Amino acid sequence: MGEFKVFTIKKNINEDNKKVADETREYLKSHNTYLINVMSSPGSGKTSTLVATIEALKNEMNIGVIEADVDSDVDAEAVENAGARAVQMHTGGLCHLDATMTRAGIDQLEVEDLDLVFLENIGNLICPVGYDTGAMKNIAVLSVPEGDDKPLKYPKIFGKVDVLIVSKIDVMEHFDFEMERLKERVLKLNKDIKIIPISSKTGEGVEAWLNWIKEQVKGRS
């Protein structure tokens, strides 16, 4: 196991979430650090996407990851091995992160020298979307095996995020999944969303995702 920090959030501190989120964004901006909140259901390929991203960008920018999980260090170890600084946040059963929890992770990560930080949120398509974490952008990861009907079942998350990564497109032929049908459903909920189909396994589509990140980080100040 790596030497990343592990800490536990036992309860949500009752502070005004928007106030803390806004303060967090200002703090990050003062250090030219860009925070992206990543949400998805369990098994979507969220960590695999982050690992591929870190491996591709680690020579261009300093990257950190705040990994949130109920009680596991596996994901933090994976992203650290890929070349990012990582901290593991144990939520003790909580199904979401809010701004106070995120700020605790930022303080543990020590972001002052980091260009980019990913917040890998709890695997859940319902709870996390209701809380402003202080991130500059929110993305969701949807895997092909989950189906193209997820926007019909969980419209709130697809209506909120700035980017939708459609992962595991290399297995699309084995599932009843139509990309155009998914796009139509998502765009009805969010006309401004950017949809990026990728495969971390084959590399297909990853360049478009990397280019989007570079644009965000370049314009962060």
Which parts of the chain sit beneath pLDDT 50? 11, 14
Per-residue pLDDT, 14:
47
Per-residue pLDDT, 2:
60
Per-residue pLDDT, 95:
80
In order of start, what are the domains of the chain with their CATH numbers? 5-218 (3.40.50.300)
One-character DSSP codes across the chain:
----EEEE--S---S-HHHHHHHHHHHHHHTT-EEEEEEE-TTSSHHHHHHHHHHHHTTTS-EEEEEEESS--HHHHHHHHHT-EEEEEE-TT-S---HHHHHHHHHHHTGGG-SEEEEEEEE-SSSGGGS--S-SEEEEEEEGGG-TTHHHH-HHHHHH-SEEEEE-GGGGGGSS--HHHHHHHHHHH-TT-EEEE--TTT-TTHHHHHHHHHHHHHT--
pTM of the model: 0.90
pLDDT tens digit sequence for 16-46: 889 999 999 999 999 999 999 999 999 899 9
